Amino acid sequence: MANVNRRLLLATRPSGMVDGATILMSDGPVPEPADGEALVRVRYLSIDPTIRTWMDDAPGYLPPIGIGEVIRGAGIGEVVASNSTNHSVGDLVFGMLGWQDFAIAGGGEPGLQVIPAGVEPTLALNLFGVNGMTAYFGLLDVGAMAEGDTVVVSGAAGATGSAVGQIARLSGAAKVVGLAGTDEKCRWIVDELGFDEAINYKSEPVAQRLHAACPRGIDLYFDNVGGEILDTCLAQIALRGRVVLCGAISTYNTEGKVAGPGNYRALIARRGRMEGFIILDYLSRFPEAQAAMFGWLAEGKLRQAEHIVHGLESAPDALNLLFTGGNTGKVIVAL
């Protein structure tokens, strides 16, 4: 076993994208698991936009990452030593392992989930993990999607957005429209994932295209991006339409005051609703969604895409991919 634990620490709070000054690598000793603890070797890191928000010194649903602390992030690891009855050597576990080679499990933090044998680790990070759960509960529970709904999703070629569109399709949406930033991504979500239509928000007139694609208005808009696209979708919301606020990736690198959606007023006339959620609130219901996912996967009706990047040292660049749109599907760092 390696006798060095490489750790990526927050050195300075970024302004805009993460750069060379934001995160520094630091070598330390491999930690010793105490009684009731286990040592986990990190194998995969889940790269999520929310990690960028934790680097700001701003209130959020979790406290900011402290300067000098390991970058917080979910991952999958393998138990390599255990003084705990909860974990056996060889177990694959999921949890907030952080951007480092080794983590300690069982130290009072929210527990690690053991991944059942037969589930691919990258699947556990994606459709069975935070992204799939976010898509499932955001769409069906927060958004209360009903059969016959016209559903629009932004960030549609991303890990969450691509799952949202597929689940909407499988749940009886009348129409599923995805917004993505390249023609290639647009083709992928239509040809491979079964979206009805795709709009390249960088090259096409979004309002016009949405209007043509959703002539009766948007019943459910699943928002991963915020900004102009949110505002445009609000203007076209249908009677009793719902906006599910999942993320606002277009604003996470913005300094100072973020522009708001002036068209929120459409929610009054159309009796609409805009609601945010955090997937951690649904932890106890994950099995329900995972069962549905498993069924769809087994029938070949659900697909995932991964964008794998290699090496712990690549994690900062991997995070930036989410903001430049350089990924299709789930970004994962393999260690």
Residue 292 to residue 289: CA distance in whole angstroms: 5
Kindly tell me which residue out of 109, 183, 191, 281 binds its own copies, with binding defined by CB under 8 A.
281
Q: According to the binding rule CB under 8 A, does residue 283 interact with its own copies?
A: no
Q: Is 218 in the site for its own copies (CB under 8 A)?
A: no
160: tokens are 């969450």
Cα 202 to chain centroid distance, Å, stands at 21
CA–CA dist 48, 216 (Å, integer): 34
If binding is defined by CB under 8 A, does position 183 make contact with its own copies? no
Task: Please check whether residue 268 is in contact with residue 237, taking contact to mean a CB–CB distance below 8 angstroms.
Answer: no
When binding is defined by CB under 8 A, the residue of 29, 269, 299, 300 that contacts its own copies is 269
| Residue 112 structure tokens | 């690690």
- Is 216 an interacting residue with respect to its own copies (CB under 8 A)? no
Q: Which of residues 55-114 bind its own copies (CB under 8 A)?
A: 59-61
Which of 77, 95, 226, 329 touches its own copies (CB under 8 A)? 226
CA–CA distances in Å: residue 300 to residues 91, 135, 166, 294, 296: 28, 18, 12, 10, 6
Q: How far apart are the first and last CA of the chain?
A: 14
For position 115 contacting its own copies by CB under 8 A, the verdict is no
271 binds its own copies, rule: CB under 8 A: yes
Which range in 3-11, 13-21, 255-263, 319-327 contacts its own copies by CB under 8 A? 255-263
Binding of its own copies by 272 (CB under 8 A): yes
CB of 182 to its own copies, least distance (A): 26
Residues 6-65 that bind its own copies (CB under 8 A): 59-61
Q: Burial of 266 by CB count in 10 Å (0-12 exposed, 13-18 middle, 19+ buried)?
A: buried
231 lies in the binding site for its own copies (CB under 8 A)? yes
Q: Which two tokens stand for residue 181?
A: 């930033």
The distance from CA 81 to its chain's CA centroid, rounded to whole angstroms, is: 30
* Integer angstrom CA distances of residue 238 from 166, 184, 213, 243: 21, 29, 13, 10
User: Crossing angle, helix 130-137 and helix 159-170, to 10 degrees?
Assistant: 40
Does residue 264 belong to the site contacting its own copies (CB under 8 A)?
A: yes
> Which one of residues 16, 66, 275, 310 is an interface residue with its own copies (CB under 8 A)?
275
How many Cβ atoms are within 10 Å of 258's Cβ, its own excluded? 12
Is 267 near its own copies (CB under 8 A)?
A: yes
Q: How far apart are CA 315 and CA 124, in angstroms?
A: 19
Closest distance between its own copies and the C-beta of residue 155, in Å?
Answer: 14
Give the total of residues touching its own copies (CB under 8 A). 33
Report the nearest approach of its own copies to the CB of residue 199 (Å). Answer: 22
Give yes or no for residue 258 binding its own copies (CB under 8 A): yes
Binding residues vs its own copies (CB under 8 A):
59-61, 226, 231, 245-248, 251, 257-278, 281
